[in-house]
Structure 1
Amino acid sequence: MFVFQTQGDRSVELDERIKQVQDGNLDAFAVIVRLHERTIRAWLVSRCPPGGDADEVAQKTFVQAFKRIDDYEIGTDFRAWLFTIARYQLMAECTRLQRLADYQSRYAPLALSRELERRATSSSQAQDQLLGFLRSCLKEMGEKPQQLLNWRYTEELPLAEIAELTNRSVGAIKKHLFKLRKSLHDCIQRKQASEAVR
């Protein structure tokens, strides 16, 4: 347990530990991590988006702090410096999650399209039945949802263009397409279950 003496707003012992780290003492950095990890982790957990790994971001924060410890100016606010690094690491995690979501949103329609093509060329009765269920479910959706699905998956229009055509945001179009895909999936599942009961 380390008790820090304060001098004004800063900790004398913390500054000494940081100076030791800057001089090459790795054990001193372990003490610094122990002193700040709870606060950093709590802050990250409260701000990390769903799917993000706050522990991983915290670890990256301390790794970056160690790599950049020579940039820290003794006597300034170490905690603010550390939180700035944490904020940038959290921004990087959010960017990573956004890229992953974008990749998945582009991949899912392609996989669906390929699967539909595969099923369409298959001569098996089960595949023909599923394709029939899909056509039936599409008809039940109505004209506007069909148009939106057609623009995106048949004509392969970019989301931005669809958003412009419908006078909506790209985010709203993504959400709507997700709901339509889920609705189609649920509809096909219901029809399959109904057919199995007969």
Structure 2
Amino acid sequence: MATSPILDEMIRRVVGGDLEAFAEIIRVCQRPVRAWIVSRCPPGGDADDVAQQTFVAAFKRIDDYQIGTDFRAWLFTIARYQLMAECTRLKRMADYHSRYLPHALSQELDRRTEGVAESPTRLTHLRECLQSVESNAREILDLRYGKELPLAEIAERSNRSVAAIKKHLFVLRQKLHDCVEKKFAGEAV
């Protein structure tokens, strides 16, 4: 399928150095190219950036285009390769984060537990404070932090809303924190 004569004329003008002609090409082709990219772009991908890179690459390679052939097909081929590059970038980023995240978490855990290793009383106090919590509240704490269930599942199991579970967990954490702090304050006296 050949490009329209009007589009061919705009391309000739671009090759001749008329930048405004390329702006016209973008206006004509931007919507379908962007729609195609958006429909295929993975979550986390930047479809607008891919579309922009497509037009930049097309501008840089406009001399490679053979006038009289299907310009839109040529442009969509560039878009396809730009989208593949974006997917590769996202995979690299995900791979980096999958390797970096455990390391960062380990470092943060080490930082936060520096004093805990020297003072086992904090954990002892927490265990004592947990014993003073009602059994149904302890069960919710266990579901969230022991079994690591999502809030929605805990809410469903307890016939409460997610918001109610969030608030209940907040109150429980605050009570446990206060209890541990009081026990430490009692030791210091």
TM-score (structure 1 length as normaliser): 0.61
CA displacement 1:21-46 (0-9 Å, x = unmatched) = 11111111111010000001111111
* 1:45 matched to 2:38: yes
* 1:31 matched to 2:20: no
Aligned to 1:163: none
Cα RMSD between the aligned structures? Answer: 3.1
Aligned to 1:72: 65
Q: Which runs of 5+ in 2 are unaligned?
A: 128-141, 148-165, 180-189
**Contact 2:15–2:63 (Cα < 8 Å) also in 1:** yes
Structure 1 counterpart of 2:50, which letter?
V
Closer/same/farther in 2, CA of residues 127 and 56 from structure 1, 3 Å limit: farther
Deviation at 1:196, TM superposition (A): 3.9
CA displacement 1:12-71 (0-9 Å, x = unmatched) = 111111011111111111110100000011111111111111111100100000000000
Aligned length: 139
Aligned to 1:116: 109
**Contact 2:3–2:72 (Cα < 8 Å) also in 1:** no
Structure 1 vs Structure 2: percent identity of aligned residues?
Answer: 58
TM-score (structure 2 length as normaliser): 0.64
Q: Distance in 1 between matches of 2:64 and 2:120?
A: 65
* 1:103 matched to 2:88: no
CA displacement 1:60-111 (0-9 Å, x = unmatched) = 1000000000000001110000000000101111111111111111111101
Closer/same/farther in 2, CA of residues 113 and 25 from structure 1, 3 Å limit: same
Which of the two has higher C-alpha Rg?
Answer: 2
Q: Secondary structure at the match of 2:42?
A: coil
Closer/same/farther in 2, CA of residues 194 and 90 from structure 1, 3 Å limit: farther
* 1:195 matched to 2:180: no
Q: Which runs of 5+ in 1 are unaligned?
A: 1-7, 142-185
- Larger relative CO (CA 8 A, sep 6+): 1 or 2? 2
